[in-house]
A = this chain, B = another copy of it.
Amino acid sequence: MNDCRVFMILKELALMGSMNRYTMIHTSELGKRVGMSQQSASRWISIMEKRGLIEKEKYGRNIRVKITSLGRVYLKKAHFDFTMIFGDSRRVELRGEVMKGLGEGRYYIMKEGYRKQIEEKLFFEPFPGTLNVRVYPNYRKRVKEIREGEFISLDGFEENGRKFGRVRAYFATLNSYPAALIVPEMSQYRDVVEIISDVKLRDKFDLKDGSEVLLVIYL
């Protein structure tokens, strides 16, 4: 069955915002996001339109697409499957304020040993730097809860005789934008957490030191 192609692209379109409204897309960008050529992405868009999973319309030289109710049902089913697999998984909210970093985050993120695992296990290319968030006191016991929850393990490694320890990662959102929380297993701090993402979060949300942010961690 080639249904899986259709699912993959449908999911990507949903993530690009085509769920409830017509969204302008570029077949080359879509192709890049799902790992195929512009030509293939274009072809699949046509196939999916014929199958009634999306609506497509020309928009000047571009196209706009919108997921149909049938397409939505396809996605819903997959979502249901994952709910069956993982149960009703926990979500933990944290609030805190942005803190000046020490530039260390950038140093670590750039290490090939971590970078590679971030791409492999968190599925994004990290912006080279971390956002440090000081969690407000009344949320700090939740940090402990997170540490004890299910995590994604980024293995430690050695480089030029220097050891880099194992790091725990968690899928998360910062102000609703997809990101990840990373916690070195050796770290002591319980009130400061580090966030990585595929963009510079400081710029995306115009964050200054002291800005309040909302984190949601998905265990």
Chain A residues near B (Cβ < 8 Å): 1, 3-5, 7-8, 11, 14-15, 19, 34-36, 69-70, 73, 75-86, 88-89, 91, 120-123, 152-153, 171, 173, 178, 218
Contact = CB atoms under 8 A, between A and B. Distances in A.
Contacts of A178: 80, 84
Contacts of A123: 77
A81 B1 contact: no
Copy number in this complex? 2
B4 A122 contact: no
18 contacts: A4-B4, A4-B5, A4-B8, A14-B85, A15-B81, A19-B85, A70-B121, A73-B121, A73-B152, A75-B82, A76-B86, A77-B123, A80-B171, A80-B178, A80-B218, A83-B218, A84-B173, A84-B178
A4 B7 contact: yes
Nearest to A176: B84
Nearest to A88: B91
From A34, A81, A88, residue with most partner B Cβ within 10 Å: A81
Nearest to A34: B1
A18 to B, nearest CB: 10
A1 B35 contact: yes
Contacts of A173: 84
Contacts of A83: 218
A85 B11 contact: yes
B15 A84 contact: yes
Contacts of A120: 70
A55 to B, nearest CB: 17
Top 7 A-B pairs, shortest CB-CB distance: A1-B35, A4-B4, A79-B82, A4-B8, A80-B171, A14-B85, A73-B121
A72 to B, nearest CB: 9
Contacts of A91: 88
Given A11-B82, A77-B122, A79-B86, 16 more contacts: A1-B36, A4-B4, A4-B5, A4-B8, A11-B81, A11-B85, A69-B153, A70-B121, A73-B121, A75-B82, A75-B85, A77-B123, A77-B171, A79-B82, A80-B178, A88-B91
